[in-house]
Amino acid sequence: MEHKQRVLIVHNYYKLPGGEDMVVENEKCLLEEHGHFVDLYSRSNKEIDHFSVIQKLLFPFTILFSLRTYRDVKQLIRENDIDIVHVHNTLSLISPSVYYAAFACKKPVIQTVHNFRLLCPAATFLRDEKICEECINKGLKCAVRYGCYRGSKIQSFMSAAILKLHRSLGTYKRLYYICLTDFNRRKILLLNQREKSYIKEERVFVKSNFTQIPLLKEIQKKEQYLYVGRLEKLKGVRVLLEAWRGLTEKTLLICGSGPEEEWIRSYRKKYSMERVKLLGQCPHEEILRLLKESRALILPTMCYEGQPMTIMESYAVGTPVIASDIGNAGNMIEPEVTGIRFAYGDAEALQKAVMCMEEKRDWDTCSVYEEKYTPEKNYELLQRIYTIVQMEEDGN
């Protein structure tokens, strides 16, 4: 009988809900559905709002190492006979002390890499709304100099200090990693450049997120294109609207809100773009319906992104994707199979991509979804990673 690992999932929630929270819930349910015992150790950064004066004074130290986390996690591991500690986020309250709690109990730690925080204190590889990788090439002091984390040099220093300390201690070399994409794996391995070795390459796996789409009734495709996401410059919404000026016969639906909403309304009015329709925030069920009936999903992003769930959902309902040729959005597109890439930031290139989409009507997105992004495929990969990790630990 196959051994079902007993798993402790560890996650620090941010103050605002995010995609990582959904991944944690999805993976917990997935493991439980397949017979695993799963416990969740979590903290929320909302707790910081209620800290006492003493707690606030001690906070910079607890970010580096939390005694509470260390004690709590060791107790949970021992009480529940945990096999694997699977960490998603440690910032700010859990801290890297969770790793040392697992080490003390001689249990392996898997860290899912949701962003670029191990290389970039701001976690985004962005500065002044442009791609920036100076911290890789010139050192973490760059983030402090520019105040990359929340525009604060003090907070940037703390974020950089965590990375510097645990690189020096060899903490990251003792972990196993799950990257969501090959692109993310290539990035994290840049930690080992210039004769440095902060992580072990053979311990870095790739396993995407997954999505499960409810059964939708058959919907006829319409001559419309869809954008779903936050309305901000980094998402490429200005490039999108500039491209649509030359696509006067095409309908564009925009789902989302954000700081660029007023700019979009003004631009739309100035150029009489009646076929551009702002739908605001839409329920998830409505977004899925719009995805299924649209000619394509458009992601004109100007940044690396994490792993856009909307691409997986689009594939699942049979809709191809037009995406910028940058980072994870571009890497998730299989040209001529699931969609089209275009030069990011180039409105004319986006126009041409839409015209190419009009010429080709047969796409194989559903097969790619079934191959890569279903719960079943995800569990198969996750179980394989868990088994490899346990075998290596047992051999040490």
In-domain check, residue 140: yes
327 in a domain, yes or no?
A: yes
Say yes or no to pLDDT of 1 above 60: no
Identify whether residues 241 and 281 lie together within a single domain: yes
193 within some domain: yes
Please check whether residues 235 and 161 belong to one and the same domain.
no
In a domain, 164, yes or no: yes
Note whether 131 and 67 are same-domain residues. yes
What's the whole-number mean pLDDT along residues 367-381? 95
CATH of the domain at 289: 3.40.50.2000
> Quick one: 83 and 118 in the same domain?
yes
Tokens at 272, concatenated = 């009489």
Q: Please give the residue range of the domain that contains residue 300.
A: 224-372
Q: Say what the pLDDT of residue 88 is.
A: 98
- pLDDT at residue 18 in the model: 83
Cα separation, 235 vs 347, in Å, equals 13
216 is a domain residue: no
Which residues, at least 6 apart from 106, have a Cβ–Cβ distance to it below 8 Å?
A: none
The helix or strand, by DSSP H or E, that contains position 296, with its residue range, turns out to be strand 296-299
305 and 325 belong to one structural domain: yes
pLDDT greater at residue 11 or residue 3: 11
- Indicate the average pLDDT of the chain: 94
- pLDDT reported for residue 16: 82
Provide mean pLDDT across the span 145-150: 93
Do 156 and 290 lie in a common domain? no
Peptide bond into 92 cis (omega under 30): yes
85-116 pLDDT tens trace = 999 999 999 999 999 999 999 999 999 999 99
Residue 285 — very low, low, confident or very high, per pLDDT cuts 50/70/90?
very high
- Within 8 A by CB and 6+ apart from 280, the residues are 255, 256, 257
Residues 304 and 346 in one domain: yes
Mean pLDDT of 295-323: 95
Confidence of residue 255 (pLDDT cuts 50, 70, 90): very high
Whether the pLDDT of residue 217 is over 80: the answer is no
The tens digit of pLDDT for each residue in 122-147 reads 999 999 989 999 999 999 999 999 99
Whether the pLDDT of residue 356 is over 90: the answer is yes
3-state secondary structure of 160: helix
pLDDT average, residue stretch 211-231: 87
Give domain status of residue 195, yes or no: yes
CA distance 229 to 162: 31
- For the cut 90, the answer to whether the pLDDT of residue 378 exceeds it is yes
Do 390 and 243 lie in one domain? The reply is no
The sheet with strand 109-113 has its strands ordered as 38-44, 7-13, 84-89, 109-113, 176-179, 204-206
Which pLDDT does position 220 carry in this prediction? 85
CB 231 within 8 A of CB 261: yes
Q: Is residue 219 part of a domain?
A: no
The number of distinct structural domains making up the chain is 2
pLDDT attached to residue 213? 85
Whether 215 is covered by a domain: the verdict is: no
Q: Tell me the three state secondary structure of residue 256.
A: coil
